Amino acid sequence: MKIHLQQGDITKLKVDALVNAANNTLLGGGGVDGAIHQAAGPELLSACKEIIDKIGSCATGEAVITKGFQLDARYVIHTVGPIWHGGDKREPNLLASCYWKSLELAAYKELSSIAFPNISTGIYQFPKELAAEVSIDTVSEWIKAEPDTSLKEIYFICYDEENFQIYEEKLKERHLYDL
C-alpha cells in the first residue's frame, strides 16, 4: 500500500476512483464537486439523478459510486461531508465515515487506486487541521483492518497550499510519507 500526497486539481488524475465532496442532492455544486461534474460531462449528472430517484437523498457520511464518464478516472465515489457547526454535531465521526465508506466502495469494486480531496474543508468550513487528522487516521485504520484489500494506492489531493502543508506535516509525523 502506498500513500501519496499531491497538490493540484483532482480531476486531472488517472486513478480508478476519484472521491467527490458532494452534497445530499448529488446534483452538483461549486468547489471540487463543480470541477468534477464539469470535467466528467453531463452523463455524470444523469447517473447521479438515477441514484437519487432510487434513494431520495444521500445522507451525510454516506457514499455512492458512478462511472467517471469523460474523466480519466474510471469511477467517481460521491460522498457527503458534514457542514461544520462547531464540532458537537458528530462532525468528526461523519467525516470519518465519508473516508471509510468510500474505501469500502472502492474495495467492493476491487479497485486498486483512489484519490481523495480534502472533504468538507471548503464550502462546508470544517477546520483543516482536524479534517486532516480525521482523514489520515481513518485511512490508516481502514488499511490495518483490510490487509488483503485490492487497493494499492491512496492519494490525498490538496488543492490549496495550506491543506498541502498540513497533510505533509501530519503524514510525516505518522511516518506515512517520505519526501
- Is residue 116 a contact point for ligand APR (CB under 6 A)? no
For residue 165, the minimal CB distance to ligand APR (Å) is: 13
Alpha carbon distance 6, 27 (integer Å): 27
Catalytic residue among 9, 16, 33, 88: 33
Checking phi first, is residue 8 left (phi over 0); if not, alpha (psi -120 to 50) or beta? left
Min separation Cβ 141 and ligand APR, Å: 21
Whether 33 sits among the annotated catalytic residues: the reply is yes
Q: Does 123 bind ligand APR (CB under 6 A)?
A: yes
**Pairing verdict, β 153-158 and 113-116:** parallel
If binding is defined by CB under 6 A, does position 35 make contact with ligand APR? yes
Regarding 49 and contact with ligand APR (CB under 6 A), the answer is no
Beta sheet of 2-7, edge-to-edge order: 2-7, 153-158, 113-116, 17-22, 75-80, 63-67
Helix (H) or strand (E) holding 93: helix 91-108
Q: Which CB atom, from 81 or from 92, has the smaller least distance to ligand APR?
A: 81
- Answer for the pair 176, 3: CB distance below 8 angstroms, yes or no: yes
- Binding-site member from 15, 19, 23, 40 for ligand APR (CB under 6 A): 23
Scanning 45-53, 67-75, 157-165, 171-179 for contacts with ligand APR by CB under 6 A, the matching segment is 157-165
Check binding of 22 to ligand APR (CB under 6 A).
yes
160 binds ligand APR, rule: CB under 6 A? yes
Interface residues with ligand APR (CB under 6 A) are 9-11, 21-23, 29-35, 81, 117-124, 157, 159-160, 163
